[in-house]
Amino acid sequence: MTGPRLEGLLALVAFGLTIPAANWLIGHAGTVCVPQGPCLIPVAPGVMAPSGVLMIGLALVLRDVVQRRLGLGFAWMAILAGTALSALLAPPALVMASAVAFLVSETADLAVYTPLQRRRFVLAVLASGLVGLVVDSVFFLWIAFGDLGFLPGQMLGKLWMVLLALPLAAWLRQADARRGILPA
């Protein structure tokens, strides 16, 4: 198997791996690890965020790639499987926040991405990522803590990953143009 289908399957596997990676990072990797709390990383001068936010930002982009390469049905299955994984792997106190934030943010990402992706793929990845990261951050923080005090760090950490993934989106768009493939 080669080409777009293989790229889609690789994106699907990577998407699934972002969830356990986010859960591992939040408890094990950071410049500061709060006792009985998350490990934090700097995402801007003076702004810290739980290290797991990096994987959530990447998940938003990978879901777009899954949809582009494998179709809308696979994207929905990935969202539902990711929601279940989020609930299974999150620390007990954060199960509801993790699962709801994942489900709602990935659905919002899909809703923005789908109508834009046919004509402006890279813009669709950026716009849907921005919507997804805001929705994920707000829902997670509000459900988990009833407080949006960590919102800037949550959003910035995810934004970095979305921005770093834009060259991949541009490469995929160019590969599609060379192959004469329209997006799924």
Whether 184 has a pLDDT exceeding 50, the answer reads no
SS3 letters across 41-81: EEEECCEEEECCHHHHHHHHHHHHHHHHHHCHHHHHHHHHH
For the chain, the maximum distance between any two Cα atoms, rounded to a whole number of angstroms, is 53
Sheet order of strands, 47-50 included:
32-33, 39-44, 47-50
Contact 60, 158 (CB under 8 A): yes
Contact 19, 59 (CB under 8 A): yes
Determine the distance from the C-alpha atom of residue 183 to the mean position of all C-alpha atoms in its chain, rounded to a whole number.
Answer: 20
What's the pTM value of the predicted model, to 2 decimals? 0.87
Residues 107-141: pLDDT tens digits? 999 999 999 998 899 999 999 999 999 999 999 99
Please give the domain boundaries of the chain with CATH numbers for all domains.
4-179 (1.10.1760)
**Residue 103: closest CA among 129, 135, 71:** 135
The confidence band for 172, taking pLDDT boundaries of 50, 70 and 90, is: confident
Q: How many Å is the Cα radius of gyration of the chain?
A: 16
pLDDT-above-90 percentage for the chain: 55
Packed helices 72-89 and 4-28: angle between N→C axes, nearest 10 degrees: 20
The token pair that represents 167 in the structure block:
């060259």
> What integer best gives the mean pLDDT of the chain?
89
Burial class (CB in 10 A: 0-12, 13-18, 19+), 31: exposed
